[in-house]
Structure 1
Amino acid sequence: MTVQAILFDIGNVLIEWQPERFFDRVIGAERSAEFFDAIQLHEMNDRVDKGEVFHDVIAETIALHPDWSDELTLWRDRWIEMASPAIDHSVRLLRALRRAGHPVFALSNFGNETFAIAEPEYPFLEEFDKRYISGELKVIKPDVAIYEHVENDCGISPSGLLFADDRHDNIAAAKARGWQTHLFNGPAGWAERLVKEGLLTPEAAK
């Protein structure tokens, strides 16, 4: 079916999300590895993405792991440095699609407070026709409920949705619902897919 709307994940599609890289740089690779081994940090982040309050989750984790309070404070206070930089070619693709008149949505696991931190840094986050942010919806990918919500809200048949995400499980869940999908491993491949679908010209996809 013809693509009727394009959906972008945000983390590692439009903005790099690399907490390990940040901590490797700031506290050293050895200490960073110990930190990530000691605390289930990605699970902690999932709680925020499901709608729990960012500062409350960090405070609770500090109380449980006082030996890592300095590192957890860095996670809280310098969060934006983990979510950087923007992937410029992907941002250009987002804008090119909108200029071409195609509806473009965001579908992302993102906390409410962290999204508010990111918006001033990345103005393109306000440029979507619709945004489906897990913190607001209180459900994260790949839970089927978030895909159902998108379908019900936008009113587009699953086969008319083209979704780019960097995670296999998120893509598999969308594909199971009949969505068209693209496993994102860099903006060049995503650009090629958009050209192949007839959504952008080769020139516009640069």
Structure 2
Amino acid sequence: MTAKIDHIVFDIGKVLIHYDPHIPYSRIIPDQAERDWFFLNVCTHEWNLEQDRGRQWSEAEALLVAQYPERADQIRAFRRHWHEMVSHAYDGSVSIMEALIDQGRDVTMLTNFAADTFTEARKIFPFLNKPRGVTVSGEIGLIKPEVEIYQKHARDFGLVPEATIFIDDSLANVEGARAAGWQAVQFIDAERLRSDLMAHGIDL
């Protein structure tokens, strides 16, 4: 029997909003093979993750431009066209989050996000302002799945770990939450989330 859930924590990217760097880059680098190479070797996932950890975009861009000067415009396009990468909300999971808030449940968010792009995301998607609060990795210098970020979120928001459920699309981040003593489920789609929450005693 799982513990009663008092706190529900949502990830954001690929849970509440779509994120795909290929959207603008399919125009910037039309050739798919070249584009795939670019993301594997230049603007990599690991490079972008450091902005989620708090590195400034100017520093991140300068680092790559020094290595790939011929691709300077393509490198700087990442931040310039970031808003295109978050093309739409996931209406099903947003509806679930809003329903939980309307029920009076304690809902917060925990996200790997650069500080400045998160400020933009809140303007593009106003529902990100509805939960009680958010921990943004880029603002605190910690990222998921480091156990310290879950512990900090729990301290800052007064969460009881065993009474907390975390929702994230990344299995590694789900396992990070479990290592911090939280309950956690991997986000697949809204219907699966609904059934996972019901299995934890949360009716919608």
Is residue 112 of structure 1 aligned with residue 115 of structure 2? yes
Task: Give the corresponding residue for 2:130.
Answer: 127
Report the residue type matching 1:147 in the other structure. Y
Superposition deviation, residue 71 in structure 1? 1.6
Superposition deviation, residue 59 in structure 1? 3.5
Task: Give the corresponding residue for 1:77.
Answer: 80
Consecutive unaligned residues in structure 2, runs of 5 or more = none
Q: Check 1:190–1:25 CA distance in 2 against 1; reply closer, same or farther (3 A cut).
A: farther
Task: Give the corresponding residue for 1:89.
Answer: 92
Is residue 41 of structure 1 aligned with residue 47 of structure 2? no
CA RMSD of aligned residues (A): 1.6
- Matches of 1:17 and 1:138, distance apart in 2: 21
Is residue 23 of structure 1 aligned with residue 25 of structure 2? yes
Q: Match for 2:187 among 184, 188, 193?
A: 184
- Matches of 1:33 and 1:118, distance apart in 2: 26
Counterpart contact for 2:174–2:186, Cα < 8 Å: yes
Superposition deviation, residue 50 in structure 1? 0.8
Q: How many residues align?
A: 201
- Matches of 1:38 and 1:177, distance apart in 2: 33
- Matches of 1:152 and 1:37, distance apart in 2: 37
> Is the deviation greater in 160-169 or in 50-59?
50-59
TM-score by length of 2: 0.91
Report the residue type matching 1:172 in the other structure. E
> Is the deviation greater in 35-44 or in 121-130?
35-44
Superposition deviation, residue 147 in structure 1? 1.1
Report the residue type matching 2:7 in the other structure. A
- Matches of 1:164 and 1:99, distance apart in 2: 18
Report the residue type matching 1:46 in the other structure. L
Superposition deviation, residue 69 in structure 1? 1.6
Superposition deviation, residue 25 in structure 1? 5.1
Consecutive unaligned residues in structure 1, runs of 5 or more = 202-206
Counterpart contact for 1:54–1:113, Cα < 8 Å: no
Report the residue type matching 2:141 in the other structure. K
Report 1:131-150 matches (<5 A).
131-150=134-153
Report the residue type matching 1:72 in the other structure. I
Counterpart contact for 1:163–1:179, Cα < 8 Å: yes
Q: Match for 2:174 among 161, 171, 178?
A: 171
Counterpart contact for 2:61–2:75, Cα < 8 Å: yes
Residue 110 of structure 2 aligns to a residue whose secondary structure is strand
> Is the deviation greater in 71-80 or in 92-101?
71-80
Counterpart contact for 1:53–1:113, Cα < 8 Å: no
Identity of aligned residues (%): 34
Residue 78 of structure 2 aligns to a residue whose secondary structure is helix
